[in-house]
Structure 1
Amino acid sequence: MRDRHFAPVKNSRDMTSPLYLSSCFTGSNGNYTLSPTPNNAWTLPTLLAAYRQANPWYNCWSSIQFNGTSVIACGLVNGGCPNNFVIENSMSPFVASSQPLTITFDVISPPKIAKWEGFGTSLAWWAVAVGKNGLDQQYANLFYTLNDSVSAAYANSGPGSLPGLGFSITRYNIGGTGIPEDSVPPNNVEMYYDGDGSTVGRNTTDKSAWYKLVPGFWAKNDPNAWFWGRDPNQWAIFAAIRAANPSTLVELFSNAPMWWMTDVKSSMGGNLLPEMNSVFISYVANVTAYFVKNLTVPIRSVEILNEPSAGWWNFSITSQEGLNANITQQQSLLTGLRNNLTNALPDVWVSGTDENNPDTAKTNLASILPLVQQYNVHSYWNLDQRRIDLKAKLGNKPFWMTEYGDGDSTGVTLGYTIAHDINLMRPSAWINWQVIDPAWGLMTVNMGQTITRGKVKQVNPKYYVMAQYSRFIRPNDKILSSSDVSNTVVAFDGTSYKIVVGNYASQRNITLDLRTIATARGKAITGPLNTTYTSPLFNKFFQPMSCNVTGNTVTFSADAFAVYSFQIPPS
C-alpha cells in the first residue's frame, strides 16, 4: 500500500448505503484502496464481500489497515478510483431486500468437475502448535469425520459440541528447521524457536510464532544424521487423522529445504545453494520413501516448491519457512524429484508449483505443466477471469487448490472464494491453509506453552460456513452447473442432489427451480426439504430448517450472507 495520494470521492447524492465510499486512495501502480462511509454498521470483511459480489471487475481482494484506517484494497482497474454513481448502479441490487432471484440447474451438460476429491487442510503450523497434547483425536474428529456432534475442550467456555467437517485430504508439511545442537561454527543455524518453543532468536521475536518453524528430519549432510522423531506434534495430529478417516488422501509438501542447504543458513527465506540442488531432492524423496515404506502411509503426491515465484521469501524479513526459485531451478527440482521417485515410488505423483494465485501460476505454466502429474495452485487475489483462464490452460491435468486463508472470521469471504473457485477454476479438491490460526483460522486455540495449550479459545462463524460446504459436497460427487455461478454450488452423488446456496450481500427471496432435477429423476420433488443453514450476521450456526416444495420449486427468504445447504434425496 505504498505511493498513494488522497482523492476524495465527489458525489452530491446522499450516501446512506454502506456500500458507498467516503474516500479513495489511488496508487501510482493503478491499485487503489476504498474507504467506506464511516457510519455504516457492516464489518469491513462483510463490506468487502459485497464489493466482490457486485463488482468482481474491481478485483477487490483484502481488508487492511492503511494509515490507521480500515480500508479495502483493490487491484488494477481502468480509470483508477471508481465513482459513487457507478457503484450505486452496480451495487444497489445487493443492498435492496426486494430483489428476488430464481436459480435454475443444468443436469444434462457434462459436469464442471467429473469427480470431486474433497476438502481438506494443510497441517504444518497448527498441528505443531496443538499436537501431542492429549487433544489430537478431538481435532481429528472435528475436521475429518461427519459426526453430528463432536465435543471440544475449551480454555474457558464455548459451544457444547460442533459438527464434524468431514475433510478427506491432508497435506503434511516436510519441515526445514533445525535445532541449536545441529549447528557447527561458522555455519550456525539461526537461533529461532524449535518445536518445543524453547529457543529464541533474532527473527522470531515473540513466542507465539514458534510453531511456524516446522522441525526437519535431516540435521546435516550426513547419511547418519536423520532423526525421524523430530516432528512429534505434527505427526501426532496426522496419526489421529488417519485413525479418524483411514481413506484420507495425503500430500507431502515442502515450504523450504533444510536450513543448511540455503545461502543464508536458514529455512526462513533465501535461495538454495547450487551444490544443494540434488541434496534437497534427496531430502524430499527420502522423507516420502520413509512415510510410504516405514510408516505404511499411502502418499498421493509430493510438492517440493511453495510459491517459488513470489519473491518475498527474503531472510531476515520473513518469519516463516520459504524459498525463492526461478523457473530454471523449478524445472530442475521437479525433474530431479520425478526421476528419483520413479525408481523407488513410481505411483507417487509430483505436484506443483503451488504459486500464490492463478495469475502468477499462468505465467510459468507452459514450462511447468509437463513436469508434474498434478497441478497445484493457491487462490489469493480474487481474480475471476484468471481463474477461468488458468483452468482453460490446464485442460484435463489433475488439479488441486491447495491453499487459501483470509482474516474474515464471519466466513463470508471464505464462502465466496469456495463458490468461485469450484465454479470457475474447477479444481477437484479445495484445501484450507490453516484451520486453526489466530487470524485466519476456523477457530482460535491457545498456542502458547502453557497448561491450556491446544484448548479452543473461540469457534469462528466461518467454521460453520465451511461445514455447509464440506459436509454436503462429498468425495466422488459430480459438480454440476447452475444459473448462479457466484453463489451456488451443485453436486450429485449418483442418487442425491446437493445444493449449497447463499452468501448474498442482502436479504432476498430465493427460488430454486428444481424442474430439471425432477425430470432427470423421473419423479416430482415433494417436500418438505430438510435444510441446514448458517447466518453469521444473526449468530445462527448450522441450524435446521424445513422448506416446502410447490410445483418442483422451493422459495425461501435468505438472510444477508447466510449459506443454505439443501439435499434432494433419491426418487
Structure 2
Amino acid sequence: MSRTSSPPGAAARRRRLTTLRGALATLAALLFGGASLPSAPSAEAAPAQPAAAVAVHLDPGYQQAPFEGWGTALAWFANVTGGWPEAQRNRLADALYGADGLGFTIARYNIGGGDSPETAPYMRAGAAVPGHWKRPGPETPDWWDPADPAHWDPYADAHQRWWLRAAKARGADTFEAFSNSPPYFMTRSGLVSGTADPRQDNLRPGQYERFAAYLAGAVRRVQHSTGVTFDSVSPVNEPATSYWRAGGGQEGSHWEPSSQAAMIKALRTELDREGLETPIAAMDETDPDLFRANWDSYDSETRSALGRLNTHTYGTGGRTGVRDIAKGTRTPLWMSEVDLGGSVPQSFTDMRPALDLADRITDDLTRLEPRAWVMWQAVEDYENMTPAHENSNWGLIQTDFTPADAAHEPLRRNKKYWAMAQYSRFVRPGSRVITTDDPDTLAAVRPGGQGAVVVHTNSTGAYRTIDLDLSAFQALSPAPVQRYTTDPAHNLQRGADIPVAGRRLTVSLAPQSVTTLVIPGASGVDARKAGPSAEPRLLVNDHSGLALTAVTAGHGDTLVQRPAHGPDPAQRWTLTRTAPGDWSSTASYRVTNAGSGKVLAVAEGRLTLLPPGPAEARQWMLSTSGDGHHTLVNAETGMLLDVTGASTADGAEVGVYRPNTGRNQSWRIAAPS
C-alpha cells in the first residue's frame, strides 16, 4: 500500500451489469463518470477490413485451485465513508459488494496502529486509522498492558467495522485482518509512519510479544463486535521496502527478514494462547521478487507457522517463483493488494487505465495462480486525484474524502470500475482458471465445471477477431454464447448472443475493449487433447537449449544436459499422471526415462533415477502459464528441476534447486524430431 508520488501504490475494483444502450449508456457514463463519453464504434459492429484472426486455444486440462474471490482493502476509504449518512454509505457498499455491483466477496480489514493523541495530524485523508488501545491516564514508559481491559477500546474504528458488517450482509464470506504498523508506543520513532531511516525497523526490540498481543486482541474484539470471522491475519505489510519514513502520509513499518520471522512466530504463539485458530498470512511484500527474497531467509519454523502466502504485484517480476513456492509447500496463495494509477491524467472515460488494469489481472491470474485477487482501496479520494494533486486514476470509484456534504457527494465510477466488472461479475468463487496460449485472454471453468468464461483485452486501436479453439472440452452444447463489453462508448454492455460453430467460436472485438464471453455449453476435459502428450518427449532447457539426458554409470545414474537427439532413449521421457482424471494444476506426474524405465526422483537432496514407486519424491508437478514453457516441481521437496549454475555447457549437471525464476528452471516439452 505504498501510496506515495513515486513508489508503487494500491487500490480498487468493481462490477455492474447493465443493458442500457445508446443515449442511456451515455447518460449513465455522465452520471457515474462525471464526464461525457467520446464517440466510438459500436461494440457489435464488424470491422470494415478484418485482420487475420488471433487463434486462442483453451486447455481445461490445467485447472488452478478453486478461486476464492475478488475483494478490496477497506483501510482509508472505509475509515472515511463508514461514518457517512446511511443512504450514501449503502450506495457505496452496494457498488462494491452488492449483487448488482462488483459482487466482491473478500474484505481486508486494517488493524490501525494509531499515533499518540498529542501528535498533530499529518497523514493524508482517511489514512489515520484508529488504534484499538485506550490510554486511561497520563502516559508512562511502557504503560500499555494487553491484559488490562482498561487499556483497550473494544469498539474502536467504528467506520471500518460498519464496512465489515455491510460487506457480510451483501454476501462477502472471506475476511482478513492486516497491519501496517505497530501502535506509536511500541515504535522507535514514536510515529506509526516509520523511522527517520526508512531502512530501519520501527518496532522496538523486545516489543514482539506485546505487538502480537495487540494484533490477537484486536482480532478477537473486532470479531466479537461485528459477527465476522477472520480467515487470516497478516502482521507485516511490504516489510522489506524502504518506503516507510517518519512523518509520511500513511502507516508503514520496515521489517528486516529476521524481524519478519520473529514477528510471525510471536503472533502464532499469541494466537494459540488466546485460543484463536486464525491462520497467519505473510508477508504481503510489494512484489514477488522481494517476497521470494524474504521467503528464502525464513527457517522451517517460520514457514510452518504460515497458513497462507500473500504477495502484492506493484512489481511483476518473479511471479512464477512465488507460484512454485506455494505449490511446493502446498500453501494457499493470494494476490492480496495492487492498483494502478494509470499512465494518463485523471479521467472517467479514458479506456487506457482500464486496459492496464485488465492486463494486470490477466497476467496475475495466469502467471501467479493466486486463489484470490484483492485490490488496494477500491474507493479513492477524488480531490487527491485531481490535476492539482496526483492527477491520476487510483481507485475504481472516486469521491471526495473531505466533502462539504457527504450525503450528496458524487460517487464517480471510472472505466477501471467497468473493466473490473468484466472479471468479477463472471469469474465467481469456485471457478477454476485454465490456461490459454494467448497473453490477452483469461479463461476459467465455472463452479462445478459446467460452462466456461473467457475475458479478452484488446488494447489496440483496431478491431480484433479471435478464433477460440474449444476442442479440448469433452462436451460442447449448441447453447448460444453471451457477450459483454466495456469500451470507450459502453459499460458492461450486453451484445447479441453468438452461435458456436462446431468446436470453434469466432468473435470480433471492438478497439480498446475488454470483452467477456460466457460459454454455457462447455464442460469436461477431452483426455486425448489435454497435455502433456502420453508419447515420449524431450525436456529441453529454455536457457541452454539442451535436452535432459540420463547417464548410467557404474555407481548410479546422473542427469545432465546434451544437444537434443530425438532417437536417443536416454533423452526421451514419458509424463504420466499419477491420478488419471486429475486436471488440477497441482496434479502429479511420473517422469519415466525410455532408456532405463526408471523415474526422475529426488533422494537425499539430489536428482537421480529410481525404480517407479508411489513416493512423492518420485513425482513432479508441472507449472505453466500456457506459453509452452514449464517448471517441474518435486512433489515431496518443492525443489525445481534445474540446470546447475545456469550452465549452457554440453554435459552440465542437472539437479534440483529452490524456485528462482531463472530460465535454467524452465523447460519445453518437445516432440522428438
TM beyond 0.5: yes
Cα gap change, 1:173 to 1:452, in 2 (>3 Å):
same
1:372 aligns with 2:306: yes
| Contact 1:175 1:255 (8 Å CA) reproduced | yes
SS in 2 for 1:141: helix
1:166 aligns with 2:81: no
Q: How far, CA to CA, are the matches of 1:290 and 1:563 in structure 2?
A: 42
One-letter code aligned to 1:377:
T
Which residue does 1:190 correspond to in 2?
119
Q: Report how many residues are paired.
A: 427
1:551 aligns with 2:502: yes
Q: How far, CA to CA, are the matches of 1:560 and 1:265 in structure 2?
A: 53
Cα gap change, 1:325 to 1:303, in 2 (>3 Å):
same
Which residue does 2:262 correspond to in 1?
332
1:117 aligns with 2:48: no
Q: How far, CA to CA, are the matches of 2:220 and 2:155 in structure 1?
A: 16
SS in 2 for 1:437: strand
Q: How far did residue 332 of structure 1 move?
A: 0.9
Cα gap change, 1:563 to 1:338, in 2 (>3 Å):
same
Equivalent position to 2:490, from 540, 544, 559: 540
1:308 aligns with 2:239: yes
| Contact 2:112 2:183 (8 Å CA) reproduced | yes
One-letter code aligned to 1:371:
A
Q: How far, CA to CA, are the matches of 2:96 and 2:70 in structure 1?
A: 10
Q: How does 1:424-503 map to 2 (within 5 A)?
A: 424-438=367-381, 439=385, 440-452=394-406, 455-493=409-447, 494-503=449-458
Q: How far did residue 487 of structure 1 move?
A: 3.1
Q: How far did residue 431 of structure 1 move?
A: 0.1
Q: How far, CA to CA, are the matches of 1:454 and 1:491 in structure 2?
A: 41
Q: How far, CA to CA, are the matches of 2:341 and 2:413 in structure 1?
A: 14
1:413 aligns with 2:356: yes
Cα gap change, 1:229 to 1:179, in 2 (>3 Å):
farther
Q: How far did residue 251 of structure 1 move?
A: 0.2
Q: How far, CA to CA, are the matches of 1:441 and 1:454 in structure 2?
A: 20
One-letter code aligned to 1:237:
W
1:319 aligns with 2:254: no
Q: How far, CA to CA, are the matches of 1:266 and 1:503 in structure 2?
A: 46
> Unaligned stretches of 5+ in structure 1?
1-95, 148-163, 181-188, 193-202
Cα gap change, 1:306 to 1:542, in 2 (>3 Å):
same
Q: How far, CA to CA, are the matches of 2:119 and 2:478 in structure 1?
A: 64
Which residue does 1:230 correspond to in 2?
156
One-letter code aligned to 2:416:
K
Normalising to structure 2: TM-score of the pair? 0.61
1:394 aligns with 2:323: no
Which residue does 1:511 correspond to in 2?
466
1:298 aligns with 2:248: no
| Contact 1:299 1:348 (8 Å CA) reproduced | yes
Q: How far, CA to CA, are the matches of 1:507 and 1:490 in structure 2?
A: 26
Q: How far, CA to CA, are the matches of 1:447 and 1:291 in structure 2?
A: 24
Q: How does 1:83-102 map to 2 (within 5 A)?
A: 98-102=51-55
Cα gap change, 1:269 to 1:99, in 2 (>3 Å):
farther
Q: How far, CA to CA, are the matches of 2:502 and 2:155 in structure 1?
A: 62
| Contact 2:314 2:338 (8 Å CA) reproduced | yes
Cα gap change, 1:482 to 1:118, in 2 (>3 Å):
same
Q: Deviations over 1:236-281 (max 9, x none)?
A: 2222111111x52000001111111111111111301113221111
Deviates more, 1:341-350 or 1:261-270: 341-350
One-letter code aligned to 2:324:
A
Cα gap change, 1:100 to 1:264, in 2 (>3 Å):
same
Which residue does 1:176 correspond to in 2?
113
Which structure dedicates a bigger proportion of its chain to helix? 1
One-letter code aligned to 1:259:
Y
Equivalent position to 1:563, from 509, 514, 517: 514
Q: How far, CA to CA, are the matches of 2:468 and 2:257 in structure 1?
A: 48
| Contact 2:168 2:228 (8 Å CA) reproduced | no
Q: How far did residue 295 of structure 1 move?
A: 3.9
One-letter code aligned to 1:532:
Y
One-letter code aligned to 1:541:
N
| Contact 2:288 2:316 (8 Å CA) reproduced | no
Cα gap change, 1:453 to 1:382, in 2 (>3 Å):
farther
Normalising to structure 1: TM-score of the pair? 0.71
| Contact 2:125 2:401 (8 Å CA) reproduced | no
Cα gap change, 1:543 to 1:336, in 2 (>3 Å):
same
Q: How far did residue 426 of structure 1 move?
A: 0.5
Q: Deviations over 1:387-441 (max 9, x none)?
A: 1122122223111111001112631111011000000001000000011113411
| Contact 1:178 1:219 (8 Å CA) reproduced | no
Which residue does 1:275 correspond to in 2?
206
One-letter code aligned to 2:127:
K
| Contact 2:482 2:494 (8 Å CA) reproduced | yes
One-letter code aligned to 2:396:
L
Larger radius of gyration: 2
Which residue does 2:176 correspond to in 1?
251
Q: How far did residue 307 of structure 1 move?
A: 0.5
| Contact 1:116 1:474 (8 Å CA) reproduced | yes
Q: How far did residue 477 of structure 1 move?
A: 1.0
Q: How far did residue 526 of structure 1 move?
A: 4.3
Deviates more, 1:367-376 or 1:260-269: 367-376
